[in-house]
Structure 1
């Protein structure tokens, strides 16, 4: 029996669809748990016992959706995006013409002009808007309602009433009313909603892209060493125990251990370790990391789904399912609002038909349509998207790329902000922190030896030394008999004298003992999380150099401001305790976790989520699972593509200070959305009773469809105008 069954689902249009499928699948007695993810368009079923796949597929199809076992999820997402784009463009073109014909008399005969409007609106209403009507039929079948129901009922009421007016204008005139049509309302509503769906689809495609990019990290081919020969083969055909050659600058093919050679490997994208790590015989290497300048032979220890990279990919995918989607407030209101409106409109039809004045049928029909038209969801449909659209535009101008409405809805409730260290709180750049000469030697003496020796090495310190040497115009000189001492340092001869750069172990191996203040200084630098090295020539100790990862200038201010907002800040890193403690102290974070690998990092995020809304800020491949697992994943714009694709928000140009702006913008946006929903409903609350006719017995006042449409228009203008206030957002 399989541990889980994964099925790609087609036909879902909103989170309510996913919830409906999930609910039906969980009713099956052989299903332990079923989870349906709307963005990934996928269902994951955990069976209790053996279950027929066709039974599951049958349930899904019975409720109006389908399973496409052949389609690639990325191709399907791009196809959906292309279809929505095409439908919107055609719908917008037709709607624009409908608007022109509705506003001006183009033909001499009004009835002829209405016929033209009818013909132009039919494709928008029944072809480009078909997805809304189809969903409404499914909702009726299962006695539910959502935004699709509002769109379908509202536009259909406007369309069919207008069609009636077009064919039978004399009946309307006999009731003493002007025969007005509302084809422009139905066409415009469908066009605007299609535009919103297109942007939603475009955003969802990023999810698939992130996962696809993770798969592409692992090299497709490798060099296998077999019987003394080098053979290039597909990585997929490797077996545990094979020997693989990794040349300088190449990606490590798979997880394994070094069988021959030594090098430095950049593991920051997996472990978060800021400095490249030395690898010698017997040391483990991870697939997808980047080899330095040394050549190594690796014995394969893990393949396929057991590799570290495969586990990272699985964590990202699983996080997409465990991240609970925020149900839009408009959809929740629609679930209650739509059935009530339909009942009220039917009630109006019945009351006017039974008790109303003559012509009873005409008056009953007009009241029925008036209720539905004033309840048309144009403003309700615009309430959230317009605020989000303006807010994301404002954010983009401030260097904040917001990729989902859910991120804005949740960010204002953040209780915890978890920071990755390398590349987030720090710049991820190795710098020469201290140059400390001893024994009367100068900085030039110290750096001259260190620079020229490191120039022969692939060690990451060499680049930092090169920059410093160029600043001081230190000339390169010839180095003879250069040798790298694995795990300790390097040595060589400069102008006939033996010179060394290395750690205490190498210094003591040369027959010397580190004593006094320089020993104490060396230990202090090491305990503070820096990387100290000694430089000596012959029997003379020239001094001490320390290297570190530079802290961002803005980090401390950001942490201070977040703490002032009542948000708890935490640092998570794969670095040592000393390095983590040093950085956390510099930026003002009290709580930090060290030596945390990707799988553990995602679990830490899950633990914090249980206590409150959690933001994760990171920049590396190792952060991708935790960014996806968090309530709001925030990636640094200068980070890896995968971290950026996995995140909900990207801070462009790597400006960490924009995180505070994001939280403030979120609070303001959510307030505007609530105001919008108020304006979207206030006209309905006031207008529906009048449309029903409650004032007619006392004052002879009734709300005609024309005034219902006017109220709807004013409501929409109010919503748009209120949303535009976000452009004046100040931090």
Structure 2
């Protein structure tokens, strides 16, 4: 009787254990169920009709869901979309597997499974039994880089050997057709039979030397009833080789008019497809360049203070709390906080923003960034996989391994593609043999082999993932991280971008923008008195006034008798003078006439600024204005979105006057003001009734709206909660990156559509040509050699087209 062990969430007491056991025992087919509170597991003995998936559903419904885990497998031997389908089916059939996504480009499999029912080694073994070498994923980025380099080098060697062996075969076979005198020379010297024997020997070396990979992978797949691209190449080349061998060694078995050899076709098929594989491997290596560059940002060593001395040590040995000495021009080893020194650090490789960032004591530094001309010291706060750079690499890898919704149709078609091509090849051979002109067998063989060779499931399988690989990598270089690959497709479909205001379109910190004094008062005097009064207040606007005074070198004098008036302002005695700070209503209640400032107050409010009135000794002394400044690139960002045909909106908790003033300055189409934090989702849904919407935010209060939007875009300068709720992360704080993200998503989807059009159009048009459609109307019968060249070039075209995204 089978059993299943689940790791269960939520069990906290014996009552929980009882509920889990009762729920499982109620499932038809379950003979026994034992829950372990300490281990957090449930062991179930069951028989049909019960199964692991049904038991997992029962646990979820009872309130104790089974824990899901994720793993990555590195898979070798996949060459086309049919291989992808077989690996996915093998993994999906394993007990406890929730989902399996296989990526042909990165040669990896991402599996979600129920913990306890299976493990990485079991899943890898299942894939290996299906005919593909698999192993648990370790240090994938570096391994993928090394593997791609090794693969390209091995294929280059195979191409050179195969080309050197195939060239004499082609010269012997085709030279006489091009130069009749050459044919006569061969016949008069070594003889035609000897020429065929030389071609046989060289072609044998090609097929069972460099071309062995097609036979070793294709024939076992064929015998398992799961043919793929290698099977097509193996069948086509072996058919030409076998026919030619019969014509060479047992010609009496063939009709007199069909005794000819096609060794050059077999040798050239293998050589050309090896060339295509080599070009494809080299191009795929360039496609993953972004990840390699990110990995290359990590220095190998760092200068660390240990026991009063500074020593050079490997970055892997660093731990939180270590003090690192950072020399001028050196890369930051790991994440940390500056403890000594002041200087500028270039963070463009992570944020995409070119200007260096000033760092002083207490500032955060990120591993992989480049120090300027100053020496700094910093305390380590994160190492290894916890650093920002490691998380970025992980996010990019996850996005690159994702499948877009558009891939579902491709997967369904490619699953049946190779069997359909083989059936079509057999049908083509039979029709030519039955109805074709003499020599029928020769024509039938050429047409059947051409159909096998020209069909290209590789191009269809690569069309989507290679574009995702390049597009997400390019985004990472420019500070745009797609946390999930499918966000690429959905972002390209949005019609409206909604922004949070504070911290997204504005700097997120108020500054003093205006000081207008009344006769008899100076700016210095008023600001000094106001700073003294506000120095005892925790209000954000109070801190703004104090900071403004400090920046001007003004010391805040001591204040006494400080009285706060909520919603009104503050009163205090400073340097023996009575100071009152607040709005017009506060001054009116204190008997201060502020009518002279009425027009100026309205003017400042219309500009999105907050007016603050200062009274000294019972008389109005000055009007101050505080505002959250708009980010320099915000207006250009909105203009770029409008140029891209997108509408814009702003959702803010600020007053309507302030919000509308900011919207007017930026040219935003729609404004929702005075929205409470819990009302942002409702405002977003109201806006989303007319279009697919992306929401851009940075704060904790933006997290629900980021999750509710069709696409959530978080500013990387914001909170971790906001970033975790979003699908796209902009590493810098520049809103212009929103337009860049949209442009990149559109370019990637356009590239995918081009690839799919080529891949499907190529097969739809050329398979009938290979079958002899042109011959019927007086055209040529396609040579297997030309079919091999076309097939190789189709994959190269798809990968090369995707590489254009590196310039997006």
Interval of TM-score (by shorter of Structure 1 and Structure 2): 0.5 to 0.7
Per the TM alignment, residue 114 of structure 1 is displaced from its structure 2 partner at its CA by 6.1
Q: Which runs of 5+ in 2 are unaligned?
A: 1-61, 76-80, 103-108, 129-134, 169-197, 249-258, 295-398
- TM-score, length-scaled by structure 2: 0.55
Q: Does 1:693 align with 2:767?
A: no
In structure 2, do the counterparts of structure 1 residues 77 and 198 end up closer, same or farther at CA, with 3 Å as the change threshold?
farther
Confirm or deny: 8 A CA contact 1:36 1:43 kept in the other structure. Answer: yes
Which aligned pairs between 1:179-578 and structure 2 lie closer than 5 A? 179-180=266-267, 182-183=269-270, 185=273, 189=277, 192=280, 325-328=404-407, 330-331=410-411, 334=414, 338=418, 340-351=420-431, 367-384=447-464, 406-438=486-518, 440-455=520-535, 458-461=538-541, 464-465=544-545, 468-469=548-549, 473-481=552-560, 483=562, 485=564, 487=566, 493-502=573-582, 511-513=590-592, 515-518=594-597, 530-559=609-638, 562-563=641-642, 566-578=645-657
Q: 1:245 matched to which residue of 2? A: none
Q: Does 1:176 align with 2:261?
A: yes
In structure 2, do the counterparts of structure 1 residues 720 and 324 end up closer, same or farther at CA, with 3 Å as the change threshold?
closer
Q: 2:305 matched to which residue of 1? A: none
Between 1:163-172 and 1:624-633, the stretch displaced more is 163-172
The CA distance in 2 between the partners of 1:118 and 1:624, in whole Å, is: 60
Q: 2:63 matched to which residue of 1? A: 2
Q: 1:616 matched to which residue of 2? A: 695
Deviations 1:533-586 (A, max 9, x none): 333344343223222211234434544564565533221234454543333333
Deviations 1:476-509 (A, max 9, x none): 1541548573846556554343445445687578
Confirm or deny: 8 A CA contact 2:610 2:625 kept in the other structure. Answer: yes
In structure 2, do the counterparts of structure 1 residues 191 and 615 end up closer, same or farther at CA, with 3 Å as the change threshold?
farther
Which aligned pairs between 1:598-609 and structure 2 lie closer than 5 A? 601-602=680-681, 605=684
Confirm or deny: 8 A CA contact 1:482 1:490 kept in the other structure. Answer: no
In structure 2, do the counterparts of structure 1 residues 113 and 96 end up closer, same or farther at CA, with 3 Å as the change threshold?
farther
Q: 2:50 matched to which residue of 1? A: none
Q: 2:788 matched to which residue of 1? A: 709
Task: Determine which structure has more spread, i.e. the larger CA radius of gyration.
Answer: 2
In structure 2, do the counterparts of structure 1 residues 575 and 202 end up closer, same or farther at CA, with 3 Å as the change threshold?
farther
Per the TM alignment, residue 608 of structure 1 is displaced from its structure 2 partner at its CA by 5.4
Per the TM alignment, residue 372 of structure 1 is displaced from its structure 2 partner at its CA by 2.7
Confirm or deny: 8 A CA contact 1:415 1:612 kept in the other structure. Answer: yes
Deviations 1:151-201 (A, max 9, x none): x62233224555677899734866421231555636965995899699899
Q: 1:157 matched to which residue of 2? A: 232
User: How many pairs align?
Assistant: 573
Confirm or deny: 8 A CA contact 2:229 2:457 kept in the other structure. Answer: yes
Q: 1:263 matched to which residue of 2? A: none
In structure 2, do the counterparts of structure 1 residues 456 and 711 end up closer, same or farther at CA, with 3 Å as the change threshold?
same
The CA distance in 2 between the partners of 1:600 and 1:201, in whole Å, is: 43
Q: 2:162 matched to which residue of 1? A: 102
Confirm or deny: 8 A CA contact 2:166 2:268 kept in the other structure. Answer: no
Confirm or deny: 8 A CA contact 1:617 1:636 kept in the other structure. Answer: yes
Deviations 1:407-455 (A, max 9, x none): 5544443322111212222222321132232353222221121234445
Confirm or deny: 8 A CA contact 1:37 1:43 kept in the other structure. Answer: yes
Deviations 1:566-613 (A, max 9, x none): 533221234454543333333333433345566654565566556433
In structure 2, do the counterparts of structure 1 residues 387 and 503 end up closer, same or farther at CA, with 3 Å as the change threshold?
same
Between 1:528-537 and 1:355-364, the stretch displaced more is 355-364
Between 1:694-703 and 1:681-690, the stretch displaced more is 694-703
Match of 1:656 among 735, 759, 763: 735
Which aligned pairs between 1:661-700 and structure 2 lie closer than 5 A? 662-663=741-742, 667=746, 670-695=749-774
The CA distance in 2 between the partners of 1:162 and 1:715, in whole Å, is: 19
The CA distance in 2 between the partners of 1:91 and 1:480, in whole Å, is: 75
Q: Which runs of 5+ in 1 are unaligned?
A: 26-33, 46-52, 67-74, 142-151, 207-319
The CA distance in 2 between the partners of 1:493 and 1:654, in whole Å, is: 41
The CA distance in 2 between the partners of 1:610 and 1:121, in whole Å, is: 58
Root mean square deviation, CA, Å: 5.8
Per the TM alignment, residue 327 of structure 1 is displaced from its structure 2 partner at its CA by 1.8
The CA distance in 2 between the partners of 1:335 and 1:655, in whole Å, is: 44
Higher RCO (C-alpha 8 Å, min separation 6): 1
Per the TM alignment, residue 374 of structure 1 is displaced from its structure 2 partner at its CA by 0.8
The CA distance in 2 between the partners of 1:340 and 1:83, in whole Å, is: 36
Secondary structure at the counterpart of residue 542 of structure 1: strand
Q: 1:242 matched to which residue of 2? A: none
The CA distance in 1 between the partners of 2:72 and 2:471, in whole Å, is: 30
Confirm or deny: 8 A CA contact 2:165 2:205 kept in the other structure. Answer: no
Secondary structure at the counterpart of residue 535 of structure 1: strand
In structure 2, do the counterparts of structure 1 residues 44 and 104 end up closer, same or farther at CA, with 3 Å as the change threshold?
closer
Confirm or deny: 8 A CA contact 2:72 2:111 kept in the other structure. Answer: no
In structure 2, do the counterparts of structure 1 residues 564 and 85 end up closer, same or farther at CA, with 3 Å as the change threshold?
closer
Deviations 1:310-333 (A, max 9, x none): xxxxxxxxxx9xx99522364465
Confirm or deny: 8 A CA contact 1:81 1:198 kept in the other structure. Answer: no
Q: 1:91 matched to which residue of 2? A: 151
The CA distance in 2 between the partners of 1:376 and 1:708, in whole Å, is: 10
The CA distance in 1 between the partners of 2:88 and 2:204, in whole Å, is: 42
In structure 2, do the counterparts of structure 1 residues 21 and 594 end up closer, same or farther at CA, with 3 Å as the change threshold?
farther
Per the TM alignment, residue 688 of structure 1 is displaced from its structure 2 partner at its CA by 1.4
In structure 2, do the counterparts of structure 1 residues 671 and 198 end up closer, same or farther at CA, with 3 Å as the change threshold?
closer
In structure 2, do the counterparts of structure 1 residues 603 and 677 end up closer, same or farther at CA, with 3 Å as the change threshold?
same
The CA distance in 1 between the partners of 2:90 and 2:686, in whole Å, is: 28
In structure 2, do the counterparts of structure 1 residues 7 and 412 end up closer, same or farther at CA, with 3 Å as the change threshold?
closer
The CA distance in 2 between the partners of 1:157 and 1:592, in whole Å, is: 60
In structure 2, do the counterparts of structure 1 residues 477 and 552 end up closer, same or farther at CA, with 3 Å as the change threshold?
closer
The CA distance in 2 between the partners of 1:575 and 1:21, in whole Å, is: 55
The CA distance in 2 between the partners of 1:11 and 1:398, in whole Å, is: 26
Q: 1:237 matched to which residue of 2? A: none
Between 1:655-664 and 1:184-193, the stretch displaced more is 184-193
Confirm or deny: 8 A CA contact 1:175 1:363 kept in the other structure. Answer: no
The CA distance in 2 between the partners of 1:663 and 1:491, in whole Å, is: 51
In structure 2, do the counterparts of structure 1 residues 121 and 103 end up closer, same or farther at CA, with 3 Å as the change threshold?
closer
- TM-score, length-scaled by structure 1: 0.60
Deviations 1:39-59 (A, max 9, x none): 9968799xxxxxxx99x99xx
The CA distance in 2 between the partners of 1:4 and 1:603, in whole Å, is: 30
